[in-house]
Structure 1
Amino acid sequence: MIRISARMNENSDTRRPVVAIIDDDADLRQTLAALMEENGLGSVALADGASFFALGPAPEVDLALIDLKLTSENGLALALRIRDRFGLPIVMLTGRGDEMDKIIGLETGVDDYLLKPFNPRELIARIRAVLRRSGYPALDQADRSTSAIVRFGAMRLDQTRRELLGPDGSEIPLTNAEYRLLDYLLRNPDRVIPRTELLHELGNDLSQYMDRTIDVLILRLRRKIETVPSKPIHLQTRRGQGYVFVPRSPA
């Protein structure tokens, strides 16, 4: 059964975005649709990809929220079909043990993913962040008024908008993994954090292959937050122990 929430005036900057929820769990669909409504988002609740494509050649939705493990089809393949055909931003819901699917999804165009069971507030924050990047001025303005800012050196991390701002106030783009890593480091300043702890925080399975993920993320993050990445001031290595984040710049 399709549930479509009416949009506000299409010509108004204050119209609310509509999220297509594609999940074959009827109870979860209903819960997610109610969650969207409670947070000022419209919703279209669908059981499968066929129901989504039945909406027509120009479905009135602004983002697709898709369960990776749909019973009747591959959720990732469906996400990429929707992305290629309609250009919609995609957020995936995944289960534990789906690490390779997450990596493939993020590398091939999925905008974000969230592990089930998830925190409803985090899901809404992720969806709003993706929608902001897609261009919703009213949503952007509302989030600016309630932003939580954490400063380090000459930079700022907006934890509400999930944005990194440089010394001149311009945004420095972060991938989801880079943001999560930086956010965790800022929440645990001046403490040596073992690599295994960072892997656990990012939801990886600690296998030898996935262990390399931290090395890559650290290098990428340093290029974005350090003046001289090879001589980091903030994101420092403690050889044989892990990493420590120093928010203060040296005098």
Structure 2
Amino acid sequence: MKRVLVVDDDPTVSEVVAGYLNRAGFAVDVAADGPAAVARAAARPPDLVVLDLMLPGMDGLEVCRRLRRDGPLPVIMLTARGEEEDRILGLEVGADDYVTKPFSPRELVLRVTSVLRRAAASGGAAAGGGAAGGRLSAGPLVLDRPARRATRDGSELPLTAREFDLLEYFLRHPGRATGREELMREVWGWEFGDLSTVTVHVRRLREKIEDDPARPRLISTVWGVGYRFDPPAPPGPGGSGARDGR
């Protein structure tokens, strides 16, 4: 039975979420503030955390940072605020999903199930290696699937778990224009969700792999469609082979 830690200072929210998760077959622990969440996670490590952004004592961003110090841990952020900046902050510390209050508890259960399924699939692929694992490369980028490690010019990239999965998808499908809906299905494993999550992740990934994120050459925007990954051309006798344009 998968264990979920629900962290929210509103007892009504915690009670409702815990009830729905229990009925879905999850074991649930509850904490009402940041320090309690960190202590509870240390005593009984969860498989996933549903974490409110606004908490007394220690905010959700700091709780997320501390919980992920010892390794990857799926986190779904809850907040009463839906601004893009809040989503970016959550993604920066490694949140896997972002749900804005008020929300449907049934939808949250589906999100929890989806994130856990994706985490399990990623772990299995990393452990199994083989054709599903292995190394992918494009120009200065090298992705080592079994090690869950990506480098650029030999330097390791500080990618979140979802950014790693997104980069892997792009490397496996070079030159193909892919819509945000398809990326959400293939990378997140969701049939529904806030498409701005994809937009934010692409932006964050560009900041880590592009020479100039404001003028991306690797991940291009295909207007009206989505995004396309364009591998850099190998240097030739006539020049550097770098691609022009966006």
Per the normalisation by structure 1, the TM-score is 0.49
What is the aligned counterpart of 1:51 among 27, 36, 45?
A: 36
Which amino acid letter does the alignment assign opposite residue 62 of structure 2? Answer: A
- C-alpha distance 58-46 of structure 1, shift in aligned 2 (>3 A): closer
SS of the aligned residue for 1:54 comes to helix
Equivalent residues of 2:3, 2:48 under 8 A apart: yes
What's 1:118 paired with?
103
Give, in whole Å, the separation in 2 of the partners of 1:85 and 1:71.
23
* Cα separation, 2, equivalents of 1:91 and 1:30: 17
1:85 aligned partner:
70
Q: CA deviation at 1:49?
A: 2.1
Letter of the 2:58 partner, please give it. Answer: E
* Identity in percent: 34
CA 1:35/1:108 → structure 2, altered by over 3 Å: closer, same or farther?
same
Give runs of aligned pairs for residues 146-161 of structure 1, distance below 5 A: none
Give the Cα–Cα distance (whole angstroms) in 2 for the partners of residues 132 and 119 of structure 1: 20
Structure 1 residues 99 and 56: CA distance shift in structure 2, 3 A = closer
State the number of aligned residues. Answer: 152
Give the root-mean-square deviation of aligned CA atoms: 4.0
2:228 to 220, 223, 226: 223
CA distance in structure 2 between the aligned counterparts of 1:59 and 1:125, rounded to whole angstroms: 23
Deviation at 1:222, TM superposition (A): 3.1
Aligned to 1:102: 87
* Consecutive unaligned residues in structure 2, runs of 5 or more: 123-167, 171-177, 186-193, 198-215, 231-246
Q: 2:14 aligns with which of 6, 12, 29?
A: 29
Q: How does 1:212-251 map to 2 (within 5 A)?
A: 218-219=221-222, 221-223=226-228
Judged with a 3 Å threshold, the aligned counterparts in structure 2 of structure 1 residues 81 and 217 are, in CA distance, closer, same or farther, namely farther
Structure 1: segments with no counterpart, 5+ residues: 1-15, 138-170, 174-178, 187-199, 204-214, 227-251
1:79-101 Cα shifts (integer Å, max 9, x gaps): 11111135321110122344212
Cα pair 1:180 1:202 within 8 Å, conserved? no
Deviates more, 1:22-31 or 1:45-54: 45-54
For 1:53 and 1:185, locate their aligned partners in 2 and report how far apart those are by CA, in whole Å.
30
Q: Are 2:39 and 1:40 aligned?
A: no
Instruction: Confirm or deny that 1:63 pairs with 2:44.
Output: no
- Over 3 Å counting, the alpha-carbon distance change for 1:50 and 1:185 in structure 2 is closer
Cα-to-partner distance string for 1:156-203 (whole Å, 9 max, x where unaligned)? xxxxxxxxxxxxxxx948xxxxx99416999xxxxxxxxxxxxx9749
CA distance in structure 2 between the partners assigned to 1:92 and 1:180 by the alignment: 25
Residues 1:70 and 1:55: Cα distance change in structure 2 (over 3 Å): closer
Q: TM-score, normalised by structure 2?
A: 0.50
1:182 has 2:181 as partner: yes
Q: For residues 44-78 of structure 1, give each alpha carbon's deviation from its aligned partner in whole angstroms, at most 9, with x where no partner exists.
A: 01111222233374523111110011133221121
Q: How far apart are residue 38 of structure 1 and its match?
A: 1.5
The answer as to whether partners of 2:7 and 2:33 remain within 8 angstroms in 1 is yes
The farther-off stretch of 35-44 and 71-80 is 71-80
CA contact (8 A) 1:62 1:88 kept: yes
Q: Secondary structure at the match of 2:22?
A: helix
Counterpart Cα distance in 1 of 2:4 and 2:48: 5
